[in-house]
Chain A
Amino acid sequence: MVRILAPPPWALTFTLLLLAAPATAQITSEPASPYPDETQFARGLYGEAELGTLMFLADAREQLGFGTALGARVGYDLMRWAAIQVHAFGSTHTTHFGDAPQSGQLLQIYQGTAELKLTIRFGQLAALAFGGAGVARLSTNLLGTTGLTDPEVQEGAVLLGGAGVDYHTLSRHFSFGVLASFARYLAIHAPGAVGLSTYVRYTF
């Protein structure tokens, strides 16, 4: 007759306790997100299209009103934080000179400037500042008949500067943002003009 030897109860209990020992944790924190990876943002030659408004200051604000403005920039990122760009910008205004016959006329302001842009990026967001100089041209001599410019003066230098915020879409090439600028038109007898615009940018 075969006799089966059963383990003692304390041995079974000990074995179960060994198997139930706590496991060591393998992940102690969340892994760092790979996004946004700024090194993946396109950099170099870029183009921008902008839409906004231009408002002159002081008396000229009422006389020229809010102008609808369109602009385009072509630039090149020299470094991650610095770029040079050329900026073509135009705005159209309806004149208001009270009862004078100069009221109700359309006037366009065209300008071309060369600018330096500095950028500090915080992930998808970036703060930027820019400044430059160029030439502005009035479409007509109308302001010369009102004293806002000297007679028959339609061209003059323009100095401008501004700041904005850029938001990268993570789509490598695209970003968009808002800009605020101040421009001083040396030919126009006004303290200057404030521009507000939004833009979309494509970096090649």
Chain B
Amino acid sequence: MPTSLLPLRAGLILARSLAVTLPVAGLACDTNTPSYFPSPAGPIEVGAMGQPGQSNARITLAFRPPTDAERSALDRKSGQAGFHVPWLSRDQVSLSLHYTITNLSNEVGKAQLLIDGASEIYSYDAAAQRAALAMMAANNDEIIVLSLINGTPVLIAPGRSISGVVREDELAEAALDLDAIGRWMAAPVSVLINSSEANRVGLEGVPAGVDIPALYDLNVSFAASKHMRLTLLVRVRDDLDRLVSAPDNKFEPQPAAIMASYMR
């Protein structure tokens, strides 16, 4: 080969190499890697002088809406199945909630997290239910309304922090419970107390093979007996890469509120 053609040959080889390596690198970047979303309001503090001992943080995830073709496909699947097939399926969207609680006081304090949320079909807000039921209560019976996830109260030493994770399987169970209560008339106490992995109590009305809607909105209630700070981070894995950062083009369902999950 003439020497003058060597640079041309090298360029062709490098171009071919790039054509192979860059798509591979691109695929490696998108193999279901997670995205992270902090609380939009930042860390929340409760229990300081003049502050209530309880506060809420809400994190709503932004997904792109379905295209016309995808909407038609969902309608067709819904018609075939006989019930609504969600755009955001629990099998395709996995959430976990990472948190850190810091005791800012100089005394030992107790903290607890309660987690509610919404799917694209139903929303569940235990605090709103408590308030509504308290107004309707005709006697002094204590009203207990369970959240979708009821964290165990923890003691935190002064100046110390604890970190924890509400795992993907726990939030997936919460999505199942919400759907069972909302769509399939499950008794709230039955499904919220029982784990579907251990038994199917309360889930008898849920059809086999039904597509469970994923939670896309989390409402975290933070209660503490002392001055404490909560920092939240939601970790999301979306198999179909539908998360968006542009707020002007996001999926905005109107889930119906559930108002019946109480027990006396």
A74 close to B13 (CB less than 8 A): yes
Nearest-CB residue, chain A, relative to B98: A101
| Interface size bracket, A side | 20 to 34
Instruction: Tell which of B6, B13, B22, B232 touches A101, judged by Cβ atoms closer than 8 Å.
Output: B232
Is residue A180 contacting chain B, with contact meaning CB distance below 8 A? no
- Residues 41 to 77 of chain B near chain A (Cβ within 8 Å): none
> How long is the Cα–Cα vector from A110 to B17 in the complex, in angstroms?
16
- Give A79's nearest chain B residue, CB to CB: B6
Would you give the shortest CB distance from A9 to chain B, in whole angstroms? 78
A84 to B14, CA, bound (A): 9
Chain B residues touching A, range:
20 to 34
Question: In whole angstroms, what is the CA distance A58 to B161 when docked?
Answer: 25
Query: With an 8 A cutoff between CB atoms, is A102 at the interface?
Result: yes
How far apart are the CA atoms of A140 and B24 in the complex, in Å?
17
Query: For the complex, is B94 an interface residue (Cβ under 8 Å from A)?
Result: no
Point out the residues of chain B lying under 8 angstroms from A76, CB to CB: 6, 9-10, 13-14
**A99 in contact (CB, < 8 A):** yes
Which residue from B14, B25, B38, B233 sits with its C-beta under 8 Å from A110?
B25
B100 and A152 contact, CB distance less than 8 A: no
B147 part of interface (Cβ distance < 8 Å): no
Q: Is the interface of B mostly helix, strand, loop or mixed?
A: mixed
B35 proximity list for chain A (CB < 8 A): 140-141
Q: Which B residues lie within 8 Å of A45 (CB)?
A: 10, 13
Report yes or no: B28 in contact with A90, Cβ–Cβ below 8 A. yes
Q: A139 to B13, Cβ gap below 8 A?
A: no
Nearest CB of B to A13, in Å: 72
Interface string of B218-245 (1 = CB under 8 A from A): 0000000000000111010000000001
Q: State how many angstroms separate the Cβ of A69 from the closest Cβ of chain B.
A: 14
Known contacts being A74-B13, A78-B10, A139-B29, is A86 close to B21, with CB within 8 Å? yes
Which B residues are CB-close (under 8 A) to A86? 14, 17-18, 21
Check: B7 CB closer than 8 A to any chain A CB: yes
Contact status B29-A101, CB under 8 Å: no
Q: A88-B21, A100-B231, A101-B100 are in contact. Are A140 and B36 (CB under 8 A)?
A: yes
Cβ–Cβ contact A102 & B233, under 8 A: yes
Contacting A99 at CB < 8 Å: which of B10, B25, B102, B233?
B102
Q: Which listed residue (B7, B36, B37) contacts A78, Cβ 8 A? A: B7
Contacts of B21 in A (CB 8 A): 72, 74, 86, 88, 112
Q: How far is the CA of A142 from the CA of B36 in the complex (A)?
A: 6
The answer to the question of B163 belonging to the interface, with a C-beta cut-off of 8 Å to chain A, is yes
Residues of chain B lying within 8 A (CB to CB) of residue A114: 14
**Does B99 have its Cβ within 8 Å of any Cβ on chain A?**
yes
Instruction: Check A103 for interface membership: any CB of B closer than 8 A.
Output: yes
Q: Which of B7, B25, B36, B231 contacts A112 (CB 8 A)?
A: B25
Q: Nearest chain A CB to B164's CB is how many angstroms away?
A: 9
Q: Which residue of chain A has its CB nearest to the CB of B15? A: A86
Contacts of B233 in A (CB 8 A): 100-102, 145
Expressed in whole angstroms, the Cα–Cα distance for A76 and B9 within the complex equals 9
Binary interface encoding of chain A residues 135-172 relative to chain B, with 1 for a CB under 8 A from any of its CBs, else 0: 00101111011000000100000000000000000000
Known: A86-B21, A100-B100, A152-B245. 5 other contacts (CB 8 A): A75-B14, A76-B9, A100-B231, A101-B231, A102-B233
Please name the 9 residue pairs, one residue from A and one from B, whose CB atoms are nearest each other, closest first: A101-B98, A76-B10, A101-B233, A99-B161, A74-B17, A139-B33, A152-B245, A88-B21, A145-B38
A-B contacts, 16 of them at CB < 8 A, read: A76-B10, A84-B14, A90-B28, A99-B161, A99-B163, A100-B231, A101-B231, A101-B233, A102-B98, A102-B233, A105-B36, A110-B25, A110-B28, A139-B33, A140-B33, A141-B36
Residues of B that sit less than 8 Å from A by CB? 6-7, 9-10, 13-14, 17-18, 21-22, 24-25, 28-29, 33-38, 98-100, 102, 161, 163, 231-233, 235, 245
